[in-house]
Amino acid sequence: MLRWDDPLPHRPRRILVAGVSGSGKTTLAAQIAPILDAPHTEIDALFHGPGWVPRPSFMDDVRRLADTDTWTTEWQYRTARPLLATRADLLVWLDLPFWTVTFPQVLRRTWRRSRTRQELWNGNVEPPLPRVLVDDDHILRWAISTRHKYRASVPAVARDHPRLTVVRLRSHAEMRSWVDGPLQDAVRAAPP
């Protein structure tokens, strides 16, 4: 597993960004995409249909995405993870401190989205923040209950896919430094 300052072994073409809800997966994946000239597909948009109902075509859409030559997306959804990991050549793991960094981020984001009624995917909007008290699947509860799951799943996928490069980033500073350093260096060293 590489650190933020380790050079990448090659120019990545298919990138996954892993981390708990609110860690910045989508933001980082969207930031990586233009650097690599690789499209970013927000996997939540493939999964969530109107009314938060899972889209029946989700896995077909994931297969189409995985079969393309270049992409960035988030490493989410139990059914999609194995397929994406098989095709990816880089997994970036955002392992930020939960209570001091990630939870405040997801709380601010949820509050803003709920207050502004920001449309997310396929007409869905964040439910009112007080729903956290009654909704077992509320994003804030989900973030808390799943905050440790990547500590086992990322090392496991690295063992199962030895050709998959894994980079572990533990702070916003490491994220910025990695993008500006090893990622940019890999792109400059091996143009598309």
* Stretch (H or E) spanning 17: strand 14-18
Q: Is pLDDT of 133 > 90?
A: no
Reading the block at residue 83, the tokens are 């397929």
Average pLDDT for residues 122-131, to the nearest whole number?
87
Residue 4 lies in a domain: no
Residue 85 lies in a domain: yes
Residue 9 lies in a domain: no
Q: Residue 192 to residues 76, 88, 160: CA-CA distances in angstroms?
A: 27, 16, 28
Mean pLDDT of the chain: 95
Number of compact structural domains in the chain: 1
Q: Is pLDDT of 192 > 80?
A: no
CATH classification of the domain holding 165: 3.40.50.300
State the pTM of this model. Answer: 0.95
Q: Is pLDDT of 138 > 90?
A: no
Residue 180 lies in a domain: yes
pLDDT at site 129: 79
Domain containing 131: what range? 14-189
With cut-offs at 50, 70 and 90, classify the pLDDT of residue 170: very high
Residue 79 lies in a domain: yes
Collect all residues with Cβ–Cβ distance below 8 Å to 1 and sequence separation of at least 6: 93, 154, 155, 158, 166, 167, 168
Residue 152 lies in a domain: yes
pLDDT at site 127: 87
Nearest to 33 by CA among 150, 189, 179, 174: 179
With cut-offs at 50, 70 and 90, classify the pLDDT of residue 137: confident
pLDDT at site 125: 94
pLDDT at site 191: 78
Length of the chain measured in residues: 192
Residue 3 lies in a domain: no
If phi > 0 it is left, if psi is from -120 to 50 it is alpha, else beta; for residue 22 that is left
pLDDT at site 6: 98
pLDDT at site 187: 96
